[in-house]
Structure formats: C-alpha cells, structure tokens
Structure 1
Amino acid sequence: MSTPGGVLTAAARLTRAGGDAPPVTLPRGPAREAAERELSKPAYHEHDPSWFVRALNAFWEWVGKLFSAASDAAPGGALGLVVILVAVVAVAVALWWRLGTPRRSPAPAAPLFDDRPRSAAEHRAAADAHAAQGHWNQAVQERMRALVRSLEERALLDPHPGRTADEAATEAARPLPLHADRLHAAARAFDAIAYGGRTATPDTYQRLASLDTELARTTPAPTATPGAPR
C-alpha cells in the first residue's frame, strides 16, 4: 500500500537516482489524475469535519449573508435591523397578551336528549342530585333537559328527539317572547358546557333553575290567528 505523498516522493527519488540525468517530467493530465488519486486517500482526510459540522457551517454562513443583506437594506444598517426585529417581537407579544392563545372552536351542537326518554320531573331530580354533589356540569345539562321536556309536556313545544338546545330556545321563544333572551342564554351555556369544554358554576345552575321554575308558572302568549283583527 502506498503512503501519503507517494507520487511526489517517487518523483523525488527518480530525480536523485538520475544524478545528472534530466529531471523527470510528467504530462499535465496524468500528473493531475495521479495527484487527485493521491489526495483522495483516507489518510489526508482523517481530521476533516463531519458532514453535520459542514452543513452547520454552511447554514450559519447563509444566515450571515442573509443578515448582512438585510442590514444593508434596513435603515440604520445592522442596528436598524435589530430595532425592527425587537419591534416585531414586541408587537407579537402584545397581540398574544391581548388576544390570548387560539382556542378550538366548539364542536357542532348535538341533540339535547339521549335515546332514553325521561320526564321533566326525572330530569329535575337528576339535576338536583348532581348539584348536591357539586357536579355542576351534569346539573346544568339535566336542568336544561328538564326545562325543554316541561315545555313539551305542556304542549308549548312539539316533541322532537333530535332537537338541539338552540333549536329548542328558538321554538320556545315564540310562545314565551318575554323569556327569549334568557332561553337563548341558557342554550348557549348548555352547548358551551356539554360540547365546548367550559366548566359550569353554581351561579350558572341557579340561573337555569330559576328560569325553569319561572317558565313553569308562566302563561304563554296567545298565538295570533291569521287574518284576525289586532
């Protein structure tokens, strides 16, 4: 196996061996090929940086060129570029502080009732049991179901197993127009708790229970007959 520098060493030996003989000359093409073969041997590359180091150096060189080009274009040079970057970061932090982290949108509203029909009294009993244990999410959901079932039992709403809370509020607002805002607020609270990941509070439950109790004592508004005098 030849050692590093074999081509140059061999040429030097031939020169010394020849004494007064004319120096050995090699054509340019074969000489270059011989030099490339010699320099491609692993012994010449033992201390070369790894591919990762070379890639990292190339990346930082690119970043340096990019920063240099940007600083040349920015007013005030490198200092101006730093000021601009700081301003952009400050605006981003201010927006995050003001708006907060993005929240997932609530899931589409699902039917209000499950497959097993229960009376308004049963839903109220379940709501009271959950409230007694501090399970406010379940208490709010059951009380909303009790409210809607009560309206169905009083024939103020047509029974509709696939009805959503928002649909129930919209339909109930027709015979109960004075309670329309509170009905829609109750429906929004139900959806936010049942499908939007919100947490109910005792106050949320008390407002819904008060509405349910008040509606049970409310006389619906008379339905206008088409063509009747007003």
Structure 2
Amino acid sequence: MRAEPPLEPTPGEARELLREELDHPAYTESDLLERIRSWLADLFEAGAEPASQASQLQTVLSMVALVLGVVAILWLLTRLRRDGSPAAGRRTLFGEEVVPAVELRRRAEQALAEGRHEAAVVDGYRALALRQIEGDQIDDLPGSTAREVAVQLAEAYGDRARDLHGVAQLFDAVLYGHRGASREQAEQVLRLDDGLPGGVRR
C-alpha cells in the first residue's frame, strides 16, 4: 500500500489560517455595512405603512412640528452661546462687583501703599474705566472686557490711545494671566486715571 502524502497545512494550521482570514477587516466592514443597510430598510418599511395611512393634515402637522423643533433647538444653541460667553472664559472688566469709581481708586492707592502692586493695577484700571462711564465719556456696556473699554476710550482720547491699550493689556496679564506687576506699572495706571478728563476725585 502506498502511504498517503502528508496534509499541508495540517488540520490545526488550516483552522488557524481560516480564522485569520475571517478576522480580516474587509469581512467585518462588509458585515457592519450590511447590518446598517438592513436596519435602515426595516426602519423605512416600518414607517411607510403608518405614513401611507395618515391623513394629509396629519402629515402637514408633523412636518410643521419638526420644523418648529429644529428652529427651537437652533435658537437655544444661539442663546447659550451668547449668554454663556462670560462663563466660557470671557475676561470681563468688573465681574459681579458693584463699587463706585472713587472707592476703587481708594483701594488702588491703599494697595500701592502696601506694596500690593497687582491689586493696585486691577483696581486702578477699573477705577479709570468706571470714572469715564460715570462721567458719560464712554458707554456703559455690561460685560465689557478691558480691551473693549480701551477701544472706546481710545476713540474718545486719541492722543492717549497707546497708553490706554497698554494698561488694558497689563490689566488682563495681571488678573487673568497671573503675572506680577511693578510699582512703576501700578503708578502708570493711576497717573493715566489722573490725566483723563474727570480725573481722580478724592
């Protein structure tokens, strides 16, 4: 009797090769796409019969409700974007505090005397901006940033535009960037407040 030639690959190796072939992404993707196609087809067929039995009025009302729903969602998204901007990190000038300019200036001078130069910069610039608002030199826009106030002030006092933008940047760097401030920088803010119309009132 002739010996049968050995099987190559062996049964175990053949099973392993088949498993590797079936694990190929092409089979998985094809199966996934087929499942999605079948699910969409079933969904369409399930909705087709009730839709065909619905009256024209019901169809119109459903479409109107859908449009109104989309409009409502878009409106809510725009409101959240607009109203949520401070919470998202908008660097407002005054925050929630309501203090007259003269009190802010007093606090800035006290901070300067105590060597707290960062606090002097922050309260000094707030005093400067609020004094101009109180004197109707610029508009009172709730939620304004230091930069936006500087833009308004620069339009009113063009010859001081560079200084105004400089102290606004300093304010942001100190309050929001946690940068240090020197005595000279704090004094610069207070001098600018003194030099603008309506200067410091003690």
TM-score (norm 1): 0.46
Alignment of 1:152 onto 2:133: yes
Render the CA deviation track for 1:23-69: whole Å, top value 9, x for unaligned: xxxxxxxxxxxxxxxxxxxxxxxxxxxxxxxxxxxxxxxxxxxxxxx
- Shift of the alpha carbon at 1:175? 1.2
- The question of whether the paired residues in 1 share the 8 Å contact of 2:154 and 2:160 is answered with yes
- The question of whether the paired residues in 1 share the 8 Å contact of 2:135 and 2:198 is answered with no
- Measured in 1, the distance between the counterparts of 2:90 and 2:186 equals 20
Rg comparison, structure with higher value: 1
Alignment of 1:140 onto 2:136: no
- Shift of the alpha carbon at 1:129? 1.4
- Shift of the alpha carbon at 1:178? 0.6
Map residues 84-103 of structure 1 onto 2, 5 A cutoff.
none
Q: What is the alpha-carbon root mean square deviation over aligned residues? A: 1.7
Alignment of 1:113 onto 2:89: no
- The question of whether the paired residues in 1 share the 8 Å contact of 2:112 and 2:120 is answered with yes
Render the CA deviation track for 1:98-131: whole Å, top value 9, x for unaligned: xxxxxxxxx9651000213111101001111111
Map residues 69-88 of structure 1 onto 2, 5 A cutoff.
none
Render the CA deviation track for 1:178-230: whole Å, top value 9, x for unaligned: 11110000100001111112101100011111110001358xxxxxxxxxxxx
- Measured in 2, the distance between the counterparts of 1:198 and 1:178 equals 28
Residue type at the aligned position of 2:94: F
Q: Secondary structure at the match of 1:210?
A: helix
Residue type at the aligned position of 2:146: A
- Measured in 2, the distance between the counterparts of 1:122 and 1:112 equals 16
Render the CA deviation track for 1:134-182: whole Å, top value 9, x for unaligned: 1111110000000000110111111123011000000111111111110
Residue type at the aligned position of 1:153: E
- Measured in 2, the distance between the counterparts of 1:179 and 1:154 equals 18
Residues 172/184 of structure 1: CA separation in 2 closer, same or farther (3 Å cut): same
TM-score (norm 2): 0.53
> Which of residues 191, 196, 199 in structure 2 aligns to 1:210?
191
- The question of whether the paired residues in 1 share the 8 Å contact of 2:104 and 2:126 is answered with yes
Residue type at the aligned position of 1:155: D
Partner of 2:177: 196
More RCO (CA 8 Å, sep 6+): 2
- Measured in 2, the distance between the counterparts of 1:147 and 1:116 equals 15
Aligned residue pairs total: 112
- Measured in 1, the distance between the counterparts of 2:181 and 2:197 equals 23
Partner of 1:123: 104
Partner of 1:30: none
- Measured in 2, the distance between the counterparts of 1:140 and 1:186 equals 8
Residues 186/212 of structure 1: CA separation in 2 closer, same or farther (3 Å cut): same
- Seq. identity, %: 33
Structure 2: stretches of 5+ with no match in the other structure: 1-87
- The question of whether the paired residues in 2 share the 8 Å contact of 1:130 and 1:136 is answered with yes
Deviating beyond 6 angstroms after TM superposition, the runs of 4 or more aligned structure 1 residues are none
